Every structure is written in structure tokens, then in C-alpha cells.
Amino acid sequence: MKFRGGYNITLQGRPSKKVKILPEPEALYLPLESKRFDFTSIYVEEGQKVDTGDVLAVDPGNYDVPLLSPRAGTVRLSSTEGHIVLEDISTVDDVPDYDKDSIPHIARQMGASGEMRHKLLALGAWQFFRDAYTNELPDPMGTPQAVIVSTLSLDPFTARGDVQFKNRLLQFTRGLEYLQSMLEYQPIYLVIPKSRTKFHDKVKDQIRGYAWVKLIEVPLEYTRTNFNILARNLGLKRADGPIWGVKAGGVLAVDRALTHTKTSLVRIVSIGGPGVKTPEHVKVMAGYPIARIREQYAREGQMRLINGGFFTGRMLGEDEIGLGVEIAGITIIPEHTEREFLGWLRPGFDRSSYSNAFLSTLRGKFAEKFTTTLRGEPRACVSCNFCEEVCPAGIMPHLIHKYLYSDMIEEADAARVDLCVECGLCSFVCPSKIELREEFIGAKVFIEEEKAEAEAQRIKQEEAVQKEQERRKESSEENLY
């Protein structure tokens, strides 16, 4: 498979392979909103006692995907805005209230495959799936044209596939078998690292004889595991139907749901970055208080906590009290409150750059202590072309930036800003500190909205014309009598 662009940076604070279990907190704060989900239908009441695995709320806009209770406890609905709080929590093993007899219509229409899909949705495993092109939750009862399973995470710092896998290769392959049994003839592409490692050999050994699995070996470079890019490189067209993308943790959740009828309420989350005391992977449930993570992991001084990886994560806001259901990593970076005097000019030994601008290029590869400082001032595009070199989507970020800067929206659309996979590499390498990724995210939304509005206008006009034609026909018929 031939890839475009891509780039690796080495940052300080890479979590070790060991997975630590975090101590139980006194309360859990479950956010009602995450990147993809909005749990607006609340199923519980103030003061209600719930068990582990009970449904607290569902997202009606996403096939009623449930927000499950990670622990037994007492519900508080109004104590923390935007969250369901669980107090007096205890670790009773989950006995999910799953009743397959409640879905006779699914069993009738889709047989065993429908029952399995329903079980995945009810037990929280379906949340691990996404559509490769849209990133949205796929229809659990839909038919994909293919499934892409990735064993890797290359965005620093999100939980690594080999860590998720540790000692669970058998469960993983069983999960793959379940996936295959839910499909008809559609292929499963399994993404593994190209480099010969123990992990690579183990996976290959384990799936030997699975003719329905197509192995895809990718170099260990950011953005090689982006589902959108993989789908495009595999020649899977968006118009031919959904493509399910799922990572190792999701396949393990499938196994847990279908083998043991159990929920996957605990996530493996990486805590890394230059602002972390001891970078590590932790086993933690949704709702875990962010303040406790800050206390335990952030170094002294002002630190910024980012929900997600270094390139694509989002700063955790003051109003976010607990970990969300989709969390895969927390990146902690020292906050710079003072502007660096002539930062762009100082040829530091301690900073890396895609260009050869800094003396540090003489040091060879080193783990950089990255901070939130801009390290320079924003300025106009200098046409260095770095953004185009690293872009995995094969578009010209500098050109699109110039179009957007001049409000030439149609030209930006024609230059295929829609192909941007929001990886953030262009913004990272840009020596002029232009926020290209943010610009393109905004432009994509704007263009989509404009197109939807134009389409709505077109339909309205067509309906008006049709109505007018019908009216004229009716009145000419009346005149005949």
C-alpha cells in the first residue's frame, strides 16, 4: 500500500507498556456529551440506586447508544451541570440487564447476526465502531462493504494497540471471528505494523488460516492508521456503502459482549506528554474525576490537559469534570504564559522542526519537551510547501488556506478541502504558525451547510413549480367543464 505524506515527531513523555489500575474514586462524573454522542434521554432519577452496567441515558440521535453505569451507586442529576454523578460507588460485578427475548423483530429480520449486533449495542461495545469516512457511529443493523480493524495507534499519545492486546490475543481473534460471523462475504482488513516485531509475528501466527482476513502492513508513522486514509488507499469508495473502522479495544469489547454477555466499562487510557510525572497506561472507567488525574500525573506549575492525542486532541475545559466515554488518551503539556522574545529567531538546541531551522537538527533524534508556546509569531504563508509534503490526504493546504483567506469558498471546495482528515500535521510543520487544521474543519462545516441549504432551496423551488403546474392543470380542467 502506497501512502502519501505522514511524519513522526518524538516527544517527551511516552507512556510505558505497563498498565496500571487507578484507585477507586469516591464519585464518578459521567459527561452527557462526547465527541460523537449526546446522551439526552435520561433513564434514571435523582437519588436512584443503580447497578454496574445499568443504562443511565441513551443518545436518541445515535441508535439509542447507551451510557452505562460503570459502577453501582446513587445517581445525582443536578449536582454537576452536564454530568450524571454517581455517589457511594461500589465495585459490584456487572450483571447487565440484557434480554434477547425483547427483540423478536430483530431476530426475525436478521437472525443470529441481528441478535449479535443488538447485543453489541446494548452492552456498549458498538460505541467502539466508527464509519471510516464520516467518523460517525455506523448503523448497527446496516451492511458494511468492508471492516477495517487496526491494531495500532500512532497519534502520540493515545492508548497503543499492543498495550490493549497484552495477553489477550486469543480474545482478540475470537472477537474477529464474531465480526466475521456478522458479515456475509465482506472482507475484514487487519492493520498491523510493517516492522518485524514480536507483536507483529504473534498477530500473524494467530490469524494464520483466516482466509477472510486481509493483512495490511503499515509503517509506524503518523497518520498511517487513519481509517479514512486506509479506506481510500484500499480503493473502498464512500458511495459503495459504510466501512466499519474498529481498533483492538473494540474487537476485545465485541468478544467480551458476545462470549460473556459483559459490558466493557473500563478503558485503557494513555497518560503522556512532557507535562506528566510518570507517563503510563491506566485502566480507568468513564466518569473518573479529571482533578484526580491532574493531581496524580501533572507536574508542578501550570499544565494544559488535552483530551486525546497530541495532534488531534482538544483542550479539556474547566466544565469537564469526569472522563468521557470515548477517551483514549490524555496529553499533558506545560502551559507557557509568557511570550518568547523573538522565539522564531532563536535557533534553540532544544526544539525540533520539520525544516532545518533549528540547531537541534545537529543533535540527531531526541525526545522534545514540547510546550503550548507558539515558538514564534504567526505570519503570512511563506510558500515553503511543507504542509503539502506531509499531508496524507494529497491536497494542497497552503493553496486552500489562501482561498479561504480571500473568502474564495467555491475554489476551496474545488481544491477538495473535504478530503482533509483533520490530522493536524500541516499545522504542526507550518513555520508560519497558521492554524490550517482548524481553518479546514471550519471550512468543511461551512461548505456542507451551504450545500445543504442550496439543496433545500432547490427542493423547495421544485415543489413550488410542481404545485403551480398542478394548480394550472386543475384550473384548465375546471374550465373544460
Residue closer to ligand SF4 by CB (options 303, 415) is 415
- Give me the count of residues in the chain: 481
Residue closer to ligand SF4 by CB (options 103, 306) is 306
Residue closer to ligand SF4 by CB (options 243, 423) is 423
CB of 299 to ligand SF4, least distance (A): 29
Preceding peptide of 157 cis, ω within 30° = yes
CB of 139 to ligand SF4, least distance (A): 26
Q: Which amino acid is at 243?
A: I
Residue closer to ligand SF4 by CB (options 144, 392) is 392
CA dist., res. 216 & res. 200, Å (int): 11
CA dist., res. 110 & res. 174, Å (int): 21
CA dist., res. 299 & res. 402, Å (int): 40
* Cα angle: 455, vertex 461, 467; to 5 degrees: 135
Q: Which amino acid is at 383?
A: S
Q: Which amino acid is at 36?
A: R
Contacts with ligand SF4 by CB under 6 A lie at: 381-387, 390-393, 395, 397-398, 401, 420-426, 429-432, 434, 436-437, 440
Cβ proximity of 86 and 28 under 8 Å: yes
**Burial degree of 41 (CB within 10 A; 0-12, 13-18, 19+):** middle
Interhelix angle 248-260/169-182, rounded to 10 degrees, is 80
Residue whose C-alpha is closest to residue 221's, from 372, 423, 420: 423
Residue closer to ligand SF4 by CB (options 146, 381) is 381
CB of 440 to ligand SF4, least distance (A): 5
CB of 37 to ligand SF4, least distance (A): 24
Residue closer to ligand SF4 by CB (options 262, 398) is 398
CB of 344 to ligand SF4, least distance (A): 12
CB of 437 to ligand SF4, least distance (A): 4
CB of 396 to ligand SF4, least distance (A): 9
Residue 195 in 3-state DSSP?
Answer: coil
Strand partners, 280: 271
Residue closer to ligand SF4 by CB (options 6, 273) is 6
CB of 177 to ligand SF4, least distance (A): 34
**Burial degree of 260 (CB within 10 A; 0-12, 13-18, 19+):** exposed
**For residue 368, how many other CB atoms are within 10 A of its CB?**
17
Residue closer to ligand SF4 by CB (options 182, 420) is 420
